[in-house]
Structure 1
Amino acid sequence: MILDRVKPLDAILAAARKKSLKRTMSGLQLMLFGIGCIIGTGIFVLTAAGAQKAGPGLMLAFAIAGLICIVAALCYAEIASTIPVSGSAYTYTYATMGEFLAWTVGWALVLEYAIAASAVSVGWSGYFTGTILKETFGVELPAWLAGGPLVFGGVEGGVINLPALAIALLVTLLLVIGTSESAKVNAVLVAIKVTALTLFIALTLPVVEIERFNPFLPAGVFGGWGSGVGAVGAAATIFFAYVGFDAVSTAAEETKNPQRNVPIGLVGSLLFCTLFYIAVAAGAIGTIGGQPIMGLGGVPFPAGSEELARQCALPQHAAALVCSDEALAHVLRQIGWSSVGNVLGYAAFIALPSVILVLLFAQTRIFFVMSRDGLLPEALSRVHPKWHTPHVVTIITGSVVAFAAAFLPVGKLADIANAGTLYAFAMVAVAVMVLRRKRPEVKRPFRVQGLWLVAPATVAGCIFLFLNLPSDAMIVLPVWTIAGAMIYFVYGRNRSHLGHGIVEVVDNIEGDEALVPIDPPRS
């Protein structure tokens, strides 16, 4: 049976210590990691795409996504504090529902983080070419270097997004050097982002015009299954921005006192960022408007589509929020704060790399723990003798992310990434319930009250948002899962440590590593 290999919880905790990464991160650093991912992605990158899907209803979309994230975060907080190791949803599934389902979750997380990091790299490129080059130095990057081909939702005459390629490679180098150094840099960048967004709120909210919100829901609450528009469709897209709290849990193995600090990082970053999402969206739409550009039948053109790109090239749409590659800086320029708008653009330019850093950090740790379990080549879990980081997998992942960022657009990438995200979050909710039933005696530093309501609500919410993604994005997950299943049965299942009857543990007295044979699971 393919669901027979459930790794003992005690073995998972022991395996984490066998090839452990340095525990250098505090609860505050974890929270900053989450804030760095959530705020940077959702506000600086997805504001325009979300407005194109929902118009002023983007505020409702943030509330819908935030509500689902709250119940998901509670599930994450309990299981991450109970199983404080690298691997996130992959490890939690391995400990509760078995190796094959764990593989599918890990494989989905690979899709999620890689595409998300690529998307944010493209978002950073928009601020670099707009605020830094054009507004500051009066230099306009040639179209063939500023974005991917139009057929992929890029720009007219685009060939490669050189700035996006460069920033992805630079962040990869930083992660290779070390997570402690990365966390310190990230803390500074998060402070810059929060300061800039606070200034944005202070300048925009006092001049909000209520009529800008009418009609509030130009595409309705539900745009229709598979359409990806309307308030719920926008919520399905911007859910991508909330993966920050998931990334926090992947850093558990490198956290000091994870039983206390992981729940702080998860819940704290989510609550803090949700307030910023709604406030900044209100300021942006209430000042210059955020109505979507409509196609035939009064349906918004898909975000990141060739049709929308052509519409945005027309003079009458040049100032539209939904057409801006640097939405927040654009808003401030339109209301007479050009200099402050440029400052905000500088902040995004400086701080968005922290988002890429968090996403790459999380993905490399997923690869690291899957390799450590034998499901991927063990060379991927090799730790650098000086920097104590999984340098091999970091370099490979960063290179792939940089390549994707060079050619693909933001809008479509966010929707595709969410397919994997929602699957992983739903599986975490199921894992919490299974672990409660199978191992009720395990110590739980953080315990969800009313779990039998919270966890099913998480699963239902994830399915609900998944069904409101564009149809092409929904198709990606099963196709990606089938490809992953083939790799598992051809390579991973035969080389799995657990499949060979070996569980990695650490002798707590002498500190010696040992391999303890157990009864091999049935094939």
Structure 2
Amino acid sequence: MLFGRVKPLDAILATAEKKGLHRSLGAFQLTMLGIGAVIGTGIFVLTSEAAQKAGPGMLLSFVVAGFICAVAALCYSELASMVPVSGSAYTYTYAVTGEILAWMVGWALILEYAVGASAVSVGWSNHAVGLLNGIGLHVPAAISNADALMAHMYVAFGADQTPDIAQAMATGGWINVPAIIVVAIVTWLLIIGTTESARVNSILVLIKIAALTAFVALTIPVLKAENFNPFMPTGFGNPFSSSGLGVLGAAASIFFAYVGFDAVSTAAEETKNPQRNVPIGLIGSLAICTVFYILVASGAIGAIGAQPVRSLAGAVLSPGTPEIAGRCAAIVASAGAAAEPLVCSKEALVHVLDVINWPLIGRLVGLAAVLALPSVVLMMMFGQTRIFFTMARDGLLPAKLASVHPRFRTPHVVTLLTGMAAAVAAAILPVGKLADYSNAGTLFAFFMVAISVMVLRRTDPGRTRPFRTPAVFVVAPLAIIGCVVLYLSLPLTAKLVLPIWGAIGLVIYFGYSRSRSHVGRGMMDVVDDPALQPEVAKPLH
């Protein structure tokens, strides 16, 4: 049977039982954990992308994305508390709906994590270059972005060479070297086995929150009501449109800013009274982050405006394209850097503070991003390598990928491959497109988790659930509908990435993985060597 291969939960849980984690986390600790995991990447990196798609209406986009994340998170938590091992949604799906769908989820998670790491790397590059330029160390455009390369590719594939594209060719760069450097450093750290400590992570969380708090405190007093008009210049959005514009299109991009909440759900095994505290931690952290995001976005919009940039013909341009890169370059060339629209800035929050005459605080906000974002790259790449590792250990990928370094005891082969792929994507693609591609994989994974939690309630109702999703047959369908709507609201290229990537995955599955699957061959044993079990978690306290 095509859908008959299910990995028994008991076999998976045999590994989980080796953790023996102490239940010590309360609602407050979980909420702080969630805030630390969520705040950072999206708000620093994607504010200008969201503004180009929705204008001031991006305030609604944060609410939409936050709500969909919340209902998906509640589904995620039930499965995470039942199956507290590595593999995330891949493992849950394997135990519930079978191998082929688990393969597709795992394949989508590879897209989520690896491309997400590339997106954060490009965001880090933008802030690092801006910080260096601000202190007089100029980084040439030729090696700090790939706008010229993308423009030449557009023309090579048949696009008309408009004045905006010609401007991107003339002023843009060819490769993003700083993004490659940060990916290389993170890859090296993961291979030698260095991961950030809880203390370092706490310091980085405080730096991020302090920077965003300072931004809000300085921008809210100077906001102007007229900058919010028109509020939705691109409309609410049409999920069946190919443009990805509007409030829904911005929400689909901003969804990237909320990824990370699974840090709360995967901590269910270490939580006192998880049935009460996990939903408090999840909803509390997402609610606080949403309010924070809305305040930051309101400050940015109200201080300098956030209307989308249009072409010479008056059409709203899609973010991440050579046309908008050229149009923005032309605006700066004719009116100066101070006149650069919010949607054009590669470091939006820093730019806002510069315009309202707080350049020193702007540099400090940029420094906060430079300090905090590499840890996000590390955690995304860590997650991706562990998904790959788990799939290889299940026999679905070559065993060589599950090789462990004899000295460092880390999965060095898969880590190196992940780093190389992330570096190539970061070198040539803009941050918004990378985030959209990553979101396509994430939304599919969350879609499958919501299905799995309902299926398991019917097929195994007696299984112990440390956390139960409240009103599961309302919450899970809302998560499914929300994920579908956001996926359909992505730009056409991001919509196509998932089925194309999925088709490649199916070719590999039927050509290689299905015949070598351990479950298919009746091999249900669990590896005993702790060094070969990256899912054996360390206590968070």
TM-score (norm 1): 0.89
Shift of 1:296: 7.0
Equivalenced residue count is: 504
Q: What is residue 134 of structure 2 aligned with on the other side? A: 135
The match for 2:322 among 297, 306, 313 is 306
* Partner Cα separation in structure 1 for residue 273 and residue 518 of structure 2: 27
Q: What code does the residue aligned with 1:4 have? A: G
Matches within 5 A, 1:177-216: 177-178=192-193, 181-216=196-231
The match for 2:375 among 354, 375, 387 is 354
Question: Is residue 53 of structure 2 the alignment partner of residue 53 of structure 1?
Answer: yes
SS at match of 1:492: helix
Shift of 1:288: 0.6
Shift of 1:252: 6.3
Shift of 1:94: 0.4
Give the percent of matched residue pairs that are identical in Structure 1 and Structure 2.
57
Shift of 1:40: 1.7
Q: Which moved more, 1:99-108 or 1:24-33?
A: 24-33
* Partner Cα separation in structure 1 for residue 184 and residue 293 of structure 2: 28
* Partner Cα separation in structure 2 for residue 26 and residue 126 of structure 1: 39
Shift of 1:290: 0.5
Q: Does structure 2 conserve the Cα–Cα contact (< 8 Å) formed by 1:86 and 1:252?
A: no
Superimposed CA distance per residue, residues 233-261 of structure 1 (whole angstroms, 9 cap, x where no aligned partner) = 10111112222124665x669x8569959
C-alpha distance 360-263 of structure 1, shift in aligned 2 (>3 A)? farther
The match for 1:173 among 188, 201, 205 is 188
Matches within 5 A, 1:229-248: 229-246=245-262
Matches within 5 A, 1:90-489: 90-131=90-131, 133-136=132-135, 138-152=136-150, 156-178=171-193, 181-223=196-238, 225-246=241-262, 260=274, 266-267=282-283, 269-295=285-311, 299-314=315-330, 315-316=334-335, 318=337, 319-384=340-405, 387-489=408-510
Q: What code does the residue aligned with 2:225 have? A: I
Q: What is residue 538 of structure 2 aligned with on the other side? A: none
* Partner Cα separation in structure 2 for residue 184 and residue 212 of structure 1: 41
* Partner Cα separation in structure 2 for residue 182 and residue 33 of structure 1: 13
Q: What is residue 518 of structure 1 aligned with on the other side? A: none
* Partner Cα separation in structure 1 for residue 247 and residue 267 of structure 2: 34
Q: Which moved more, 1:224-233 or 1:75-84?
A: 224-233
C-alpha distance 383-13 of structure 1, shift in aligned 2 (>3 A)? farther
Q: Does structure 1 conserve the Cα–Cα contact (< 8 Å) formed by 2:70 and 2:282?
A: no
Q: Does structure 2 conserve the Cα–Cα contact (< 8 Å) formed by 1:80 and 1:262?
A: no
Q: Does structure 2 conserve the Cα–Cα contact (< 8 Å) formed by 1:33 and 1:183?
A: no
* Partner Cα separation in structure 2 for residue 86 and residue 317 of structure 1: 50
Matches within 5 A, 1:495-510: 495-505=516-526
C-alpha distance 263-382 of structure 1, shift in aligned 2 (>3 A)? farther
Q: What code does the residue aligned with 1:109 have? A: L
* Partner Cα separation in structure 1 for residue 141 and residue 422 of structure 2: 21
C-alpha distance 228-506 of structure 1, shift in aligned 2 (>3 A)? closer
* Partner Cα separation in structure 1 for residue 17 and residue 414 of structure 2: 19
* Partner Cα separation in structure 2 for residue 30 and residue 451 of structure 1: 22
Q: What is residue 516 of structure 1 aligned with on the other side? A: none
Shift of 1:149: 4.4
C-alpha distance 262-70 of structure 1, shift in aligned 2 (>3 A)? closer
Q: What code does the residue aligned with 1:481 have? A: G
Aligned-residue Cα RMSD (Å) equals 2.9
Q: Does structure 1 conserve the Cα–Cα contact (< 8 Å) formed by 2:385 and 2:411?
A: yes
Q: Does structure 2 conserve the Cα–Cα contact (< 8 Å) formed by 1:117 and 1:360?
A: yes
Q: What code does the residue aligned with 2:230 have? A: P
Shift of 1:150: 2.4
* Partner Cα separation in structure 2 for residue 328 and residue 388 of structure 1: 40
Q: What code does the residue aligned with 2:247 have? A: A
* Partner Cα separation in structure 1 for residue 270 and residue 513 of structure 2: 32
Q: What code does the residue aligned with 2:146 have? A: G
C-alpha distance 491-157 of structure 1, shift in aligned 2 (>3 A)? same
Q: Does structure 1 conserve the Cα–Cα contact (< 8 Å) formed by 2:11 and 2:525?
A: yes
Shift of 1:170: 1.3
* Partner Cα separation in structure 2 for residue 274 and residue 449 of structure 1: 21
User: 5+ residue gaps in structure 1?
Assistant: 514-523
Q: Does structure 2 conserve the Cα–Cα contact (< 8 Å) formed by 1:423 and 1:462?
A: yes
Q: Does structure 2 conserve the Cα–Cα contact (< 8 Å) formed by 1:31 and 1:268?
A: yes
C-alpha distance 265-484 of structure 1, shift in aligned 2 (>3 A)? farther
Shift of 1:505: 3.8
SS at match of 2:524: strand
Q: What code does the residue aligned with 1:439 have? A: D
C-alpha distance 373-125 of structure 1, shift in aligned 2 (>3 A)? same
Q: What code does the residue aligned with 1:272 have? A: I
Q: What code does the residue aligned with 1:226 have? A: S
Q: Does structure 1 conserve the Cα–Cα contact (< 8 Å) formed by 2:303 and 2:356?
A: yes
Q: Does structure 1 conserve the Cα–Cα contact (< 8 Å) formed by 2:147 and 2:325?
A: no
Shift of 1:478: 0.7
* Partner Cα separation in structure 1 for residue 122 and residue 23 of structure 2: 28
TM-score (norm 2): 0.86
Q: Does structure 1 conserve the Cα–Cα contact (< 8 Å) formed by 2:392 and 2:399?
A: yes
Q: Does structure 2 conserve the Cα–Cα contact (< 8 Å) formed by 1:204 and 1:283?
A: yes
Q: What code does the residue aligned with 1:206 have? A: P
C-alpha distance 375-33 of structure 1, shift in aligned 2 (>3 A)? farther
* Partner Cα separation in structure 2 for residue 157 and residue 310 of structure 1: 8
Shift of 1:391: 3.2
Q: What code does the residue aligned with 1:416 have? A: Y
Shift of 1:14: 1.9
Shift of 1:33: 6.7
Q: What is residue 160 of structure 2 aligned with on the other side? A: none
Shift of 1:389: 3.7
Q: Does structure 2 conserve the Cα–Cα contact (< 8 Å) formed by 1:245 and 1:266?
A: yes
Q: Which moved more, 1:309-318 or 1:226-235?
A: 309-318
Q: Does structure 1 conserve the Cα–Cα contact (< 8 Å) formed by 2:342 and 2:351?
A: yes
C-alpha distance 17-176 of structure 1, shift in aligned 2 (>3 A)? farther
Shift of 1:29: 8.9
Q: Does structure 2 conserve the Cα–Cα contact (< 8 Å) formed by 1:15 and 1:504?
A: no
SS at match of 1:431: helix
SS at match of 2:320: coil
* Partner Cα separation in structure 2 for residue 26 and residue 181 of structure 1: 21
* Partner Cα separation in structure 2 for residue 25 and residue 119 of structure 1: 35
